[in-house]
Amino acid sequence: MTLNLTEIFTSVQGESTFAGLPTVFVRLAACNLRCVWCDTPYSFGRGDPKPLAEIIQHIENQGVGHVCITGGEPLLQENVHHLMTALCDKNLAVSLETGGSLAINDVDPRVSIILDIKCPGSGMSSKNDWANMNRIKKNDEVKFVIADENDYLYAKDIVRKYNLLSKCRAVLFSPVFNEMDAKKLTEWILRDKLGVRLNLQLHKFIWDPATKGV
Ligand code: SF4
């Protein structure tokens, strides 16, 4: 049993409520979307097939308690479910970053899903699987990447329409790096008294923003 891998590395998690936590990242290959501001286009290729057993052994060797399965779009590969369940069985904390266009109902309930909802500025908002709004759980998080005010208003409407703040652990508003002014986004959140969490990408402040594998 294999998974097509773009990269595997250990760093600190830059986003979500796991931000700052030492984490093993498993970046799976290929994506069905093409967000205009995507910062990991190098994950669009086919990647290298790696046996699951080898991936799990590598993760265990790191001695780190949190694993983030990311991409690309990890849910394109059926075997990702075997990996996530195996890692949960080893009592590791597992999170899954998914682009929000595919159903999340087969994901092991022990996994914390970080579910993107694509805003209009991504060019991919028509791909959102809205049925996922009824599948998110208390240990999941919903993330909006915001490029401009139009995206902010869109995200605000979705948060209210689907009552997201009561459904999951956190709703994350993340400014597009070098495009959306984080200060402006913060002002909007405070003005509108939204209970969402500002989500900055820590790794882009620690390392050069173009650095891979961090
Ligand atoms: S879903 Fe993620 S990996 Fe795919 S294009 Fe969008 S930002 Fe990039």
Q: Residue 79 is part of a domain; what is its CATH number?
A: 3.20.20.70
Domain assignment present for residue 62? The answer is yes
Residue 156 maps to a domain: yes
Confirm if 23 and 13 have CB atoms less than 8 A apart: yes
The total number of structural domains that make up the chain:
1
Nearest atom of ligand 1 to the alpha carbon of 122:
6
Check pocket membership of 80 for ligand 1, CB cut-off 6 A.
no
Does residue 105 belong to any structural domain of this protein? yes
CA–CA distances in Å: residue 191 to residues 184, 205, 207: 10, 26, 32
> Containing domain of residue 18, as a range?
2-206
Q: Would residue 195 count as lying in a domain?
A: yes
Is 72 close to ligand 1, i.e. is its CB under 6 Å away?
A: yes
Task: Give start and end residues of each alpha helix (H) in 162-200.
Answer: 164-167, 182-191
Which atom in ligand 1 lies closest to the alpha carbon of residue 99? 1
* pTM reported for the whole predicted model: 0.95
Q: Is the CB of 67 under 6 A from ligand 1?
A: no
Identify the sign of the CA torsion 75, 77, 78, 83. Answer: negative
Whether 23 is in a domain gets the answer yes
pLDDT in tens, the chain (214 residues): 999 999 999 999 999 999 999 999 999 999 999 999 999 999 999 999 999 999 999 999 999 999 999 999 999 999 999 999 999 999 999 999 999 999 999 999 999 999 999 999 999 999 999 999 999 999 999 999 999 999 999 999 999 999 999 999 999 999 999 899 999 999 999 999 999 999 998 888 888 888 877 7
| Residue 213 resides in a domain | no
- What stretch of H or E contains 86? helix 80-89
How many angstroms does the Cα of residue 30 sit away from the middle of ligand 1? 9
- Please indicate, yes or no, if residue 166 is contained in any of the structural domains: yes
Q: Give the atom of ligand 1 at the shortest distance from the alpha carbon of 71.
A: 3
